[in-house]
Structure 1
Amino acid sequence: MTLNVVLMLVSGTLLVRSFLGLFLRTRSRYAGWWMALLVLAGASSVVDLLSAVTGHAVAVGLGNGLGAATAACAWGAARALDHARTGWLHIASGPAVAVAATVLTAPSLGTGAGAVVTLATMAALFTLAAIRLWRTRFAPSGAGAHGASTHGTVAVTGLAVAVSILALFYVWRVGALVALGPSSPVYLDYAGASANALVVLVLLVVATFTMSELGQVERMIELRIKATRDALTGLHNRAELDRRARVRLAARQGPVAVVVADLDRFKHLNDTHGHAAGDRALQAFAGAVRRGLGPRDLAGRLGGEEFAFVLDVAGPDDAAARLESVRRACARLRVADGAHPLTASYGIAMRAPGESFEEAMRRADAAMYRAKRAGRDRIVLHRDEATADDVATADPAGEASAAAPAA
């Protein structure tokens, strides 16, 4: 109980420090999530004291919900450092599960109602937070990137270690509770409320006193993303795609497909339905690309309505199949009333041994123009300087079909 009181007081002190020292100055999303965590940690300590004294089911359920919400905010803060947004619906799902489990088991378990589910939920959320922090630490554009400040790198590393320890501690709490029971001396001494308050207290102090550096890391990553991403579509911009593609082609020994795609009748769409419809078309196409390509594939906007992809594939047929999934997804999209279905022409060039990215791009671009001349909305594979194969076309019903080589 004494440690819970200390946790409550420390949470309040750190909250004031965080609000005055960082949030008012930067309006950082990471700082916002961390302040929410401090509020919930303090409230959880108060409710835990009440439930220990009264044993009331409402206090038990509220304490479990607040505990899970604290872990959810840690996950939100970790995602904010990586410039990922977290909706309140995602945050609320963990506490909702904890409260529901408490309500369902309260008649039989009393003050222990929902404990296993709550601790398992918190272990999962802290684990997700730790994974995200380590990902930020070692990501090419994250805290460990070239040019990142030493203090920022150390701060993210320290927080990642602290949250990882906390995640392991909650896994231990779940295991001890299930295996030993809530009244076991081992559980009470090494996994109970006092041990939990001590571990959380250390985490709060470590994270809060590195908040200035972590806020700087968040701003640095945001600037890097703005410098490497196309603002409208969220895909890589041309310079970043070129950089990543050179690295990929130098590292990969297997087949690589370089693709150039160009939206069909884009000028007509802009002239007829306005630039807002054109922007929606670009965003819708980028969304279809993200859903249709593989996790290791690269995609970027070259400019205007032109895009390029670098695909790790088994061969030409594999590349064509991925693009066909994108083509089919686009065919179902409408970006304006009365507008044609969203279509694009695709040119594929399989990287030849020793070939540079620029050379493969030129061949893919030539194949894309062949697709345009052949009627648009199709995928053309470049074979050599003189020929290209039309590997997918659109029939009147909008379905793909094989075609003879196009001249």
Structure 2
Amino acid sequence: MLDVVSLRVSFAVVAVTLLALFYFVAYRSTRSAYAGWWCVALGAFLAGSAAYLLDGTSQQWWGNPLGNVCIVAGAASVWAGARAVSGLRVSWLAVAASLVVLLVASALDHPGRNDWSGGPFFLGLMTVYLALAATELHRAWRRLPAPGPRARVYRPILRSLTLMCTGVAAFYLARFVAFLAVGQDGRLFDVFLGSQVTTLVTTVMLATVSFSMTALSYADDTIDLRARATRDGLTGLLNRDELMQQLAQRWNAHRRRAVHGVVVMADLDHFKRVNDVHGHAAGDFALQMFAAACRSALGPEDLAGRVGGEEFVLYLDRADLDDARQAVEQVSSMLQHGSLPDGTVLPTVSYGLTVARRGDDPDVAIGRADRALYVAKSEGRDRVAVADGDEKAPAAPRPPTIAP
């Protein structure tokens, strides 16, 4: 088996390589908080490994305590990175206090001749911080939304990170217990849980977490690019292409139902006047307010997309006309209670409704809703019109809304 010095030199080379690759390939392209903390962790592990190389020399008295502090700071940075995945922060005052306690304990434990000065504190803190990191990653994994693009990408990455941190935390817990039970010279600790095995385990952890963090960083970029490609840049609603694609998927999913939802065509009344009188910024604000009202009024399975300047298409999944009327009335009510930045009331909205039937084509249904919208506008605007014959359509069962 390789001696400890050779393993630590190899570990340092791996850490330097991973730090350089991760910083220039992953962190600089995303600037994400968790990627930044992983860079800090790699740097701290590298510094700690370098300090441990002074063991057996006349400088061991300060190199050993410094190495302990750097390695534990690296573990604390892993915890910080795990919390950053969920947008959370750590209490660095508590971390700094733990590092001071470790430094004092190591300095008072004869570091010049004791390779394991401050050993119980070092092993205990490593166990705690790695366990905290595993807990945060598990929580981030469990907090992911219902199945969707983000969950599909994030879940396997967070699962692998959780398992890795859990495994290393368990390893350090075993070291901590063995150190207290048999001491640093005991065969159990020295052969199976000593510095050589630990260096190998830590090297594997660095490589695994670095690749997982890189994948997580690129997942953020991929999701962001997809959002830009499928969402309207002003309102955040679906753009026309994505809306039609998702409508086609819903049609296929409900192809055996006689009636499987309601298509709504919506148009902001006298929108050109808003732009001409109040400016395009006010018009943009009105569109954003309408989009926000739609997101609030519609259910998680419903769709909303912007298909023109002030024209929108809504699809209420497994809804009937009463459900649709209630939803659009809620949208209009929200707009009535809002105003433009200068205090002027927001424009009203006209709606055309049609039921989505088995055998329909999405374009055909949208055409019917558009004709109903024309009727609503011709009758004075700020009202709801239903396509011819749809009032007699059978109702589709809509699942009950579960209160949070």
**TM-score (normalised: structure 1):** 0.64
Identity across aligned pairs (percent)? 32
| 8 A Cα contact 1:11 1:41, kept in partner | yes
User: Counterpart of 1:69 in structure 2: which amino acid?
Assistant: A
Map 1:35-46 onto structure 2 (within 5 A): 37-43=38-44, 46=47
Partner of residue 162, structure 2: 167
User: Aligned to 1:320, which of 317, 325, 329?
Assistant: 325
| 8 A Cα contact 1:232 1:279, kept in partner | yes
C-alpha distance in 2, partners of 1:56/1:206?
25
Partner of residue 177, structure 2: 183
User: Counterpart of 2:315 in structure 1: which amino acid?
Assistant: V
Partner of residue 230, structure 1: 232
Partner of residue 17, structure 1: 21
Partner of residue 275, structure 2: 270
| 8 A Cα contact 2:231 2:239, kept in partner | yes
Partner of residue 340, structure 2: 335
1:372 shift after superposition: 3.4
User: Counterpart of 2:337 in structure 1: which amino acid?
Assistant: R
C-alpha distance in 1, partners of 2:141/2:10?
25
Partner of residue 392, structure 1: none
| 8 A Cα contact 2:134 2:163, kept in partner | no
User: Counterpart of 1:43 in structure 2: which amino acid?
Assistant: A
Map 1:139-218 onto structure 2 (within 5 A): 164-171=159-166, 182-183=176-177, 189=193, 197-204=202-209, 206=211
Report Cα offsets for 1:125-162 as digits up to 9, x if no partner. 36747979x965996xx8xxxxxxxxxxxxx9xxx866
Report Cα offsets for 1:36-57 as digits up to 9, x if no partner. 5233332256479899954999
Map 1:46-65 onto structure 2 (within 5 A): 46=47, 53-54=64-65, 62-63=73-74, 65=76
| 8 A Cα contact 2:40 2:77, kept in partner | no
User: Aligned to 1:243, which of 242, 245, 255?
Assistant: 245
1:387 shift after superposition: 7.1
User: Aligned to 1:345, which of 341, 350, 359?
Assistant: 350
C-alpha distance in 2, partners of 1:41/1:206?
13
| 1:119 pairs with 2:123 | no
Report Cα offsets for 1:276-326 as digits up to 9, x if no partner. 111122122222322332222221111110000122134333333333443
Going from structure 1 to structure 2, the CA distance change for 1:338 and 1:197 (only over 3 Å counts) comes to: same
C-alpha distance in 2, partners of 1:16/1:177?
27
1:270 shift after superposition: 0.6
| 8 A Cα contact 1:166 1:199, kept in partner | no
| 8 A Cα contact 1:65 1:99, kept in partner | no
1:225 shift after superposition: 4.3
Query: Tell me, what secondary structure is at the counterpart of 1:308?
Result: strand
Unmatched 5+ residue regions in structure 2?
53-61, 102-119, 180-187, 394-404
C-alpha distance in 2, partners of 1:204/1:61?
17
| 1:68 pairs with 2:45 | no
| 8 A Cα contact 1:348 1:382, kept in partner | yes
1:274 shift after superposition: 0.3
C-alpha distance in 2, partners of 1:203/1:125?
15
C-alpha distance in 2, partners of 1:333/1:5?
65
C-alpha distance in 2, partners of 1:256/1:276?
35
User: Counterpart of 1:183 in structure 2: which amino acid?
Assistant: V
| 8 A Cα contact 2:133 2:165, kept in partner | no
**TM-score (normalised: structure 2):** 0.64
The structure number with the bigger radius of gyration is 2
Query: Tell me, what secondary structure is at the counterpart of 1:354?
Result: coil
1:29 shift after superposition: 1.8
Query: Tell me, what secondary structure is at the counterpart of 2:233?
Result: coil
Bigger relative CO (Cα 8 Å, ≥ 6 apart): 2
Query: Tell me, what secondary structure is at the counterpart of 1:256?
Result: strand
| 8 A Cα contact 2:302 2:314, kept in partner | yes
Unmatched 5+ residue regions in structure 1?
76-89, 143-155, 390-407
| 8 A Cα contact 2:353 2:373, kept in partner | yes
Report Cα offsets for 1:236-285 as digits up to 9, x if no partner. 22122112212211222452111111112311111111011111221222
User: Counterpart of 1:67 in structure 2: which amino acid?
Assistant: V
C-alpha distance in 1, partners of 2:162/2:233?
36
C-alpha distance in 2, partners of 1:121/1:322?
43
User: Aligned to 1:307, which of 301, 308, 312?
Assistant: 312
Aligned CA-pair RMSD: 4.9
Going from structure 1 to structure 2, the CA distance change for 1:270 and 1:301 (only over 3 Å counts) comes to: same
Going from structure 1 to structure 2, the CA distance change for 1:16 and 1:114 (only over 3 Å counts) comes to: closer
Partner of residue 357, structure 1: 362
Going from structure 1 to structure 2, the CA distance change for 1:257 and 1:97 (only over 3 Å counts) comes to: farther
Report Cα offsets for 1:365-392 as digits up to 9, x if no partner. 23333443455444x3525259799xxx
